[in-house]
Amino acid sequence: MSTRNAERHAVLHSWCVQADWDAPTIVGGQGARFWDEDGRVLLDMSSLSECMNLGHQHPALVKAIQDQAAALCFTTAAWGAEPRARLAVRLLEKSGFEGGRVFFTLGGADANEHAVKFARQAAGGPPGLVITRDRSYHGASYAAMALSGDSRTTSQADPSRYGVVRVPPPYAYRCPFGSASDAECGTMAAAHVARTIDERTGVSAVLMEPNAGTNGIVAPDTFWPALRAETRKRGVSLIADEVMSGFGRCGEWFAWQRYGEAGRPDLMTLAKGLTGAHAPLGAVVLSADIAARLDHQMLNTGLTYCGHPLSCAAGLAAMQAYEDERLIERSRTLGAAMFERLTALQAGHAVIGDVRGGDGLFAVLELVKDRATREPLRPWPEVHPSLKSLVARGRAAGVSFAIRGNLILLAPPLVITEPELADALIVLDRLIAESDWS
């Protein structure tokens, strides 16, 4: 059986109808490109699942994993491991969470579940409520689905059974609060969270994405600092889900840092860019205050692979690469250029209703039927056939684009070259122009 046939018949694939799954086998990559077994090369405009921030097969990461494998593949969290300890210190330094602690997981969903556990335990008393928002994604384990306001998973987990209360998002283009401006939408969304806390008893935490997310919401800049101020005033922990927005994706190490101390959460969750997906790893970073509250309590949780040495070695090498190659700054500069180019594209294509993002190499195009009325191209989360075909035609043209509903999500590796980025946007321009959007 060929690899492709084996993959097609023996693997249960995520987020798809099994019978429809049909994709090439990827065998290699370099920088912003990867290639399949037939030698077909694709320029990656989504960092695969918005996780390969450092590009494909980054040599420093490959070497770090090889060196660590030769020295020590595994020890449990019951014992110390050098790369785990060093990575925790580096994360606390970069986030300015000195005196805090880091709990390592395998990915984003378990990081979010653990952040909620820690916030609840730190709050004391019976497990409190957690406020999250619609049009968010925090993972696909049961509690993470309950935390997420994602159309794919809402019917799978009842939020009330997990102590989760969901509120409308700061979706400025279609503001659920009927605001007059983007800025006002951000403050109204934060005020709504504050009201929700006041109306309920026993809210322990608010968990939200500060910037980029797979549901295509990019909160206005007024949102996060206002949310921080309101939660601080009420003694409720703020958890920033930085799984996607961290490690340069939004032009900072962590997206909340754009607001300085006014944006600092009590806990943040990381994955994806933490190792640039070179090895599976997630983390919960706890502030000194939360960590101190847990210091003399039993912590009844753990994962066999907490802080796996191979993954932590990859994480350390990743952080060094972001720094040595100035990738955070690069993301900011290239992200601004990409945003400008996308705004120009919008001027030429009536189907592009909104362009948002641009604080780093992350942007969202929202497609509409009518720009004046903002009527969606298809009701969320349906996908217009031409958008599906755009992805297929992009692949045929050598560029891999990610879509969701009416959205085109642009999140290339931070190592993409300027000519590669320019070429990809020329292809996108052509594909949009050649599509029938009726």
Q: Toward ligand PLP, which CB reaches closer, 83 or 246?
A: 246
Asked if 109 interacts with ligand PLP (CB under 6 A), we say yes
- The residue type at 125: G
Whole-angstrom distance, CA of residue 99 vs CA of residue 115? 17
Q: Toward ligand PLP, which CB reaches closer, 241 or 354?
A: 241
Q: Toward ligand PLP, which CB reaches closer, 249 or 332?
A: 249
Among residue numbers 11 through 50, which ones bind ligand PLP (CB under 6 A)? Answer: 49
Asked if 243 interacts with ligand PLP (CB under 6 A), we say yes
**Closest residue to ligand PLP: CB criterion:** 108
Whole-angstrom distance, CA of residue 153 vs CA of residue 429? 32
Asked if 214 interacts with ligand PLP (CB under 6 A), we say yes
Asked if 213 interacts with ligand PLP (CB under 6 A), we say yes
Residue 285 makes CB contacts below 8 A (sequence gap 6+) with: 91, 92, 95, 97, 100, 101, 102, 267, 268, 269, 270
The pairing of beta strand 399-400 with beta strand 282-286: unpaired
Q: Kindly tell me which residue out of 33, 84, 114, 138 binds ligand PLP, with binding defined by CB under 6 A.
A: 138
Q: Kindly tell me which residue out of 44, 150, 182, 241 binds ligand PLP, with binding defined by CB under 6 A.
A: 241
Stretch that binds ligand PLP, among 65-73, 103-111, 232-240, 284-292 (CB under 6 A): 103-111
Cα dihedral sign for 44, 50, 53, 59?
A: negative
Residue 113 makes CB contacts below 8 A (sequence gap 6+) with: 139, 141, 143, 144
Cα dihedral sign for 243, 249, 254, 256?
A: negative
Q: Kindly tell me which residue out of 165, 189, 244, 409 binds ligand PLP, with binding defined by CB under 6 A.
A: 244
Residue 49 tokens, joined: 């699942």
Stretch that binds ligand PLP, among 137-145, 180-188, 258-266, 291-299 (CB under 6 A): 137-145
Q: Which of 273, 274, 269 is closest to 256 using CA atoms?
A: 269
Stretch that binds ligand PLP, among 56-64, 131-139, 310-318, 391-399 (CB under 6 A): 131-139
* Footprint on this chain of ligand PLP (rule: CB under 6 A): 49, 107-109, 112, 137-139, 209, 213-214, 241, 243-244, 271
